[in-house]
Structure 1
Amino acid sequence: MLTRKQLELLEFIQKRMAQDGVPPSFDEMKDALDLRSKSGIHRLITALEERGFIRRLAHRARAIEIVKLPEALDKTEPKGGFTPRVIEGDKTDPPRGAMSVEAAGAFELPVMGRIAAGVPIEAIAEVSHHVAVPGSMLSGRGEHYALEVKGDSMIEAGINDGDIVVIREQGTADNGDIVVALVDGLEATLKRYYRRGGMIALEAANPAYETRVLREEQVKVQGRLVGLIRSY
């Protein structure tokens, strides 16, 4: 599973190698993806290598070999690759497109990968499986999806590693809300949200983790926590 940025970078590398016979430089990658620094490119390259899409050759400058391509880069796919499908729901009517689990009075939502409750990991925007969610969790009009929690930074808020959180998609948040926050367009994390002037604080619910204070333009709210599912 690849993030949108990972997919964009892989596509850019593929096109440049087909055109020039050599991979682009990190500066060229940074400019192509409109990133502020090469550190973001390093993280994306590492993620692509860990997922088996590319291979870096030791002791050779700009030596990147494409091992495989995802289906999203097939020419029959729409440009830009995978677009997540989300489900609309509210208190009284079933979420649009949701699959009913009649015996349990629940609906199935797509689990869009993992979200970090700890050190931020890269956002994943691809359905890994589905989970049955009580209709009462799908409160308010809007689109909902689910994420698997990775890490322990929200344990004092009752959110443990391996839990499934139900997220209502929205782009704004109030102080104290637990949100999915995308940092610098690369990393997603689950934290409490606080606005402090022109800065945004992403606060853990575990004293072992420091609060991250970032510029407003570095943080994009992608949704608010509305429910939690735990398996025993």
Structure 2
Amino acid sequence: MLTRKQLELLEFIQKRMARDGVPPSFDEMKDALDLRSKSGIHRLITALEERGFIRRLAHRARALEIVKLPESLEAAAVAAAATPAKPKVRPEGIEGDRVDPPRGAMAVAAAALEIPLMGRIAAGVPIEAIAEISHHVAVPGAMVSGRGAHYALEVKGDSMIEAGINDGDIVVIRSQGTAESGEIVVALIEDHEATLKRYFRRSGMIALEAANPAYETRMLREDQVKVQGRLVGLIRSY
């Protein structure tokens, strides 16, 4: 039996991972549960892990994996997954061809789509902007539902580890030119450097915030930053 707070936290983690493909940060968990400090989140995480509902991934700072859900949350998650997705729109310039699954394959495999992998994106010090398609990768159709073009990037660096994004991961990006504060975006800096960071508007400036205390938040003028897309999913190889 889970306490009310344990259930609230597990539900918040499950919904954020379903929406973004990565677990929320400890600060986001603290704010969502209206707790005063992250120590309370640490206790709840430990309790959920001891009860077998989540797993902390070894050598991956604060990266979480949901192992199972209580019946109440599992029923809600199944119902949400069964809701028909909006029709997909083929983007101009970026193809998303459906992969033909083997006969008898599960429905989830039939929903796989191929999107272009554009190269590497820095989760650390910005690197040169991505401009060329390396190859295509197959991703679950649920990751690229809705309107807009999608593409993938290989993460280089460790500045987003507390958001569950590690060096070598593949991030799935929805191409868009705007973002809400707090979203993880591909930001193009002064038209030649690209980086993966949380995006905030602060006092007329753009803040690009890492999810690793080893990296400082970069404050830039609005004319120095262009949003190239928003994170919608993550693929990890073990």
Q: Tell me the residue number matched to 2:16.
A: none
CA contact (8 A) 1:167 1:226 kept: yes
Of the candidates 112, 122, 128, which is equivalent to residue 116 of structure 1?
122
Give the C-alpha shift of residue 186 in structure 1: 1.1
Give the C-alpha shift of residue 91 in structure 1: 4.1
Structure 2 CA distance for aligned equivalents of residues 175 and 115 of structure 1: 20
Gaps of 5+ in 2: 1-84, 102-108
1:168 aligns with 2:163: no
Map residues 149-168 of structure 1 onto 2, 5 A cutoff: 149-168=155-174
Give the C-alpha shift of residue 140 in structure 1: 2.2
CA contact (8 A) 1:169 1:223 kept: yes
Query: Percent same amino acid among aligned pairs?
Result: 78
Give the C-alpha shift of residue 98 in structure 1: 2.0
Q: Tell me the residue number matched to 2:97.
A: 99
CA contact (8 A) 2:87 2:146 kept: no
Structure 2 CA distance for aligned equivalents of residues 158 and 210 of structure 1: 18
Q: Which runs of 4 or more aligned residues in structure 1 lie more than 4 Å from their structure 2 counterparts after TM superposition?
A: none
Of the candidates 209, 228, 237, which is equivalent to residue 222 of structure 1?
228
Of the candidates 145, 150, 154, which is equivalent to residue 151 of structure 2?
145
Give the C-alpha shift of residue 142 in structure 1: 0.7
SS of structure 2 residue aligned to 1:141: coil
CA contact (8 A) 2:89 2:147 kept: no
CA contact (8 A) 1:194 1:202 kept: yes
Of the candidates 108, 131, 138, which is equivalent to residue 137 of structure 2?
131
SS of structure 2 residue aligned to 1:100: coil
Larger radius of gyration: 1
Q: Tell me the residue number matched to 1:197.
A: 203
SS of structure 1 residue aligned to 2:152: strand
Structure 2 CA distance for aligned equivalents of residues 226 and 133 of structure 1: 11
Answer 1 or 2: higher relative contact order, Cα 8 Å, separation at least 6: 2
**Per-residue displacement from partner, 1:29-84 (whole Å, max 9, x unpaired)?**
xxxxxxxxxxxxxxxxxxxxxxxxxxxxxxxxxxxxxxxxxxxxxxxxxxxxxxxx
The two structures have a TM-score, normalised by structure 1, of 0.59
